[in-house]
Homo-oligomer: A and B are copies of this chain.
Amino acid sequence: MAESSFGIGILGAASIAKKNARAIAKCRNGTVVVAVGSRALDKAQAFIQETGASSAKAYGSYEEVLNDSAVHGVYIPLPTSLHLEWVKKAAAKGKHILLEKPIATTAEITDEIISICEKANVQLMDGTMWSHSDRAERMQEAIAARLDPAGMGPLKAVTCTFCVAGDAEFLANDIRVKKGLDGLGCLGDMGWYCVRAALWAYGFEKPVSVSAHAGPLYNNEGVLLHVGATIIWSDGRRANFQCGFDQALTQYLEVAGTHGTVRLDDFVIPYRPDKASFLVTNNHGFTDLDLAVKTETEERVVSLDVPQEVRMWEDFADCSKAIQDEGKPEKHWPTIAMITQKVVCAVEQSASDGCKTKKIQW
C-alpha cells in the first residue's frame, strides 16, 4: 500500500538533528526531510549535504521553514528556553511537532505548550527515541507477563541510570550546562530518559512523590551536573535513578518484581543499532546453603529492522497523518510528556530545596 508522504522541516542544524535527519531518510512510511532552517543559510546547506537529504530546501531562518507548505511536521531540537516560542509559531502554521526533551523548564510552560498544540489540532510528541524501539515493545511484553506463573510477580522497583562524563569543552560550553538555555541540566537531558523509563515500566501510573538524593552536583551557574532521586508510587512501589555528566557512561535499567527482573545495560542508546537484547531472570534465589545462585537468566535478542530513531519518526508521521481521519491528535504522547515533565520538575525542586520530599499534584 502506497502511503502519502509526510514532509519534515528541521529547525536548527544541531548535532542531534543530524542523527534524526539520517533516521528520517530510512523511514518506510513516506516521511522525508523537506526543509532545514538555520540562522545561517550556509549552515542549513551544509547540513543537507552532510545528511544526504538532497531533496530538502535550505533556509536561513526558522520562519521560512514554517512557511513552507511542503512541511507537515517540524522537528524542534532548539535549546529548551526557546521551545515555547517556536511551538507557538509552528502550531499557528498548523505544523505537527516533534519536540526534543525536556519539553520545558517548568510544568506550567509544558501545560501551555500542550494546550497550544491541542487548540491548533496538531500532534505533539517528545524525542524519547528508545521507547519506540522493537526492543522496548518486547520488554513491555515481558513486564506485562509478570503475573503469569513463570513471571516476575508484582512490580516493586525500577532502577535506572544514565550518566556520561562530559569533557572540559562540554562542561564549559554545551547548551546543556547553560542556565539560560537548558536550565534543567543533566536532569532535563539524561534524567528525562530515566524518569520516562520508570513511568513506562509502571504503565504511566502517576507517582505520589519524589525526593532527590543527597548531594546533587551543580556547576557555577546552578545547573545540575549530577542528581539522583527516588520516585514513590502507591503501596511503596519505587524507582531510583541517577543521571549526570560527571562519570563514565552507564545506562542501566532494571525492572524488578517479587520473583524476577527485566534488565539491560544499554537502554537509551543500544550497543548496536541493528540488534539489541535484554535479560529476563526468573526462579530467583540461591542454591542449597546459599553457596551459589539458582536464578536463571535468559537473554532475549531482538533483531531491529531499523534504528529506534527511525521507528520514532514513523510513529510521529503516522499519528500526525491519522488526524485527518480521526479529527484529533493522539493524546497518549502529550499525556506522557506532561507526566514525565512534572516528575522531572519535582525532582529539580526537591534537589534545590534540600532534597525534601515533594508530593506531586495531578
Interface of A toward B, CB cutoff 8 Å: 15-16, 18-19, 22, 152-153, 156-157, 159, 161, 163-165, 209-211, 213-215, 217, 226, 228, 230, 232, 236, 238, 240, 242, 246-250, 252, 254, 256-261, 266, 269-273, 281, 284-286, 289-293, 295, 307, 309, 355, 357
Q: Assess the A307–B291 pair: CB atoms within 8 A.
A: yes
Of the candidates B16, B281, B357, the one whose C-beta lies within 8 Å of that of A290 is B16
Knowing A159-B242, A217-B236, A292-B273, the reply to whether A256 touches B261 (Cβ < 8 A) is: no
Residue of chain B at shortest CB distance from A15: B289
Chain B residues whose CB sits within 8 angstroms of the CB of A242 once the complex forms: 157, 159, 240
Using Cβ atoms and an 8 Å threshold, which residues of chain B touch A240? 213, 228, 240, 242
Smallest CB separation, A130 vs chain B (Å)? 11
| Contact B248 A256, beta carbon cutoff 8 Å | yes
When C-beta atoms are compared, the residue in chain B nearest to A248 turns out to be: B284
Q: Kindly list chain B residues whose C-beta atoms are within 8 Å of the C-beta of A355.
A: 211, 357
Most buried by B among A164, A165, A271: A165
Contact of B214 with A357 in the complex, beta carbons under 8 Å: yes
Is the pair B249, A269 in contact by a Cβ cutoff of 8 Å?
Answer: no
> Beyond A159-B242, A211-B213, A248-B256, is A293–B281 a contact (Cβ under 8 Å)?
no
- Report the bound CA distance from A272 to B238 in whole Å: 30
Instruction: Indicate which residue in B215, B293, B357 contacts A269 across the interface (CB closer than 8 Å).
Output: B293
Q: Write the nearest CB–CB distance from A23 to chain B, whole angstroms.
A: 9
List 14 additional contacts besides A215-B232, A273-B292; criterion CB under 8 Å: A19-B290, A153-B248, A163-B256, A165-B258, A214-B230, A226-B236, A247-B257, A248-B258, A248-B284, A249-B284, A249-B286, A249-B293, A269-B293, A270-B293
> Which residues from B are CB-within-8-Å of A258?
165, 246-248
Q: Cβ of B284 and Cβ of A164 under 8 Å apart? A: yes
Cβ–Cβ < 8 Å partners of A357 in chain B: 214, 355
With both beta carbons as reference points, the residue of chain B lying nearest to A358 in the complex is identified as B214
Q: Across chains A and B, which 4 residue pairs bring their CB atoms closest together, nearest first?
A: A211-B214, A156-B247, A249-B284, A19-B289
29 residue pairs of the A-B complex, CB under 8 angstroms, read: A15-B289, A156-B246, A156-B248, A157-B163, A157-B247, A159-B161, A163-B256, A165-B259, A209-B214, A214-B230, A214-B232, A215-B236, A217-B236, A228-B230, A240-B240, A247-B257, A248-B256, A248-B257, A248-B259, A248-B260, A248-B281, A248-B284, A249-B281, A249-B285, A249-B293, A250-B254, A266-B293, A291-B309, A355-B357
